[in-house]
Amino acid sequence: MQDIRLTATARVNLPTPIHYLNKLADHFTEHGEVLRTERKGQIELDYGTAIIEADDECLLLRAESDDETGLAYMKFAIANHIIEFASKEEPKIKWAGDGAAGSPLPYFRQMQVLSAHNISPKMRRVRLRGENMHRFSHSGMHIRILIPPANIDVPQWPITGEDGRPVWPEGEMKLTSRIYTIRNIDPESGEVDIDVVIHDGTPGSEWALNADKGGVVGMTGPGGGDAGDAEWYLLAGDETALPAIGRIIERLPSHAKVIARIEVDDEAEEQSFNSQCFLDLQWLHRNGAEAGTTTLLEDAVKAVPLPSDGERIFVWSGCEFDGFKAIRKYIRKDLKLERTQHLVVSYWRRGVADD
């Protein structure tokens, strides 16, 4: 049987198209493989391929993937960056081919809230159920929860725009979106658990606190965030990354060596993991200091010696923006790890809402 590869194409008129091809190639080198000739770039990401050609007047785009979600992500990623890089030119992008404009996002599911309870004083587990959840059990741990406005019984959800970006409901139907991690998933029953850190009456916290009353939310994803293939792992994060670290630890095989450093408020926020791997786990307690104000995590990462016996290593970290910057600098500049050997992500930024 012949493989069916989904494809979409677009032509984008721009002055100096080669300039934008260079910018796209530079940007996506951070996220995947980029093959270049003078006027052409081929971008290979986890979820698909984009081929971009520059002539004197336009960029010719071709996005490909094996599944609808992958194709939608490719179209979104390429269009979003062209629109950002060429914002003064106001480029018009209209994709033709697979994945029609106006249809539901292939990476969207409406989820029923089943239950919510605290698993520690500041961590609340919300259980959701949706249809057709297999795609959410692999290729990325993270999702966006789309919280409908209060008092709306039938929410409106985003649809696919002509340029590949989602078109969001506006006005009284406006959704609030927050990024979380799927902590547990059972694709057969369609059930997923999301562990939400409760703090300061924010939209995410309020949603989790009231989720025991039921209702529906939207969910888009999954996206990035997993640890690469290795023999030795350093996993470091604050409580927002605890669901991701727990999921990674629980799927690693018995021969994996894992050093985990996790910052939480105090002992009451510690969790246990159902892991088979060799695990050296230290909890770092802030003991009342505000989240995002200490260097506990950065110091702990710097205190871990890398293995010297040639094991394949992977460093994974998620935390507040200042810690993220310090840890990423250390991993890249001091340890000089390759892109394929680390993933260091800012999970939230002190004083800034994720709007």
Ligand X SMILES: Cc1cc2nc3c(=O)[nH]c(=O)nc-3n(C[C@H](O)[C@H](O)[C@H](O)COP(=O)(O)OP(=O)(O)OC[C@H]3O[C@@H](n4cnc5c(N)ncnc54)[C@H](O)[C@@H]3O)c2cc1C
Contact residues toward ligand X (CB under 6 A) are: 142, 178-181, 195-197, 199-200, 202-205, 225, 240, 243, 291, 345, 347-354
Across 208-229, b (16+ Cβ under 10 Å) vs e yields bbebeeeebbbbbbbbebbbee
The DSSP code for 328 is H
Q: Which is nearer to ligand X, 106 or 204 (CB)?
A: 204
Q: Which is nearer to ligand X, 108 or 348 (CB)?
A: 348
As a whole number of angstroms, the distance between CA 350 and CA 352 comes to 6
Residue 32 Cβ vs ligand X, minimum distance, rounded to whole Å: 18
Residue 30 Cβ vs ligand X, minimum distance, rounded to whole Å: 16
Q: Which is nearer to ligand X, 98 or 238 (CB)?
A: 238
Q: Which is nearer to ligand X, 108 or 232 (CB)?
A: 108
Residue 350 Cβ vs ligand X, minimum distance, rounded to whole Å: 5
Distance between start and end Cα atoms, the chain: 45
Residue 24 Cβ vs ligand X, minimum distance, rounded to whole Å: 23
212, 137 Cβ separation under 8 angstroms: no
Query: Closest Cα partner for 249 from 237, 258, 238?
Result: 258
Q: Which is nearer to ligand X, 41 or 221 (CB)?
A: 221
294 contacts: CB under 8 Å, gap ≥ 6: 263, 286
Residue 106: CB atoms within 10 Å: 18
As a whole number of angstroms, the distance between CA 314 and CA 144 comes to 26
Residue 106 Cβ vs ligand X, minimum distance, rounded to whole Å: 20
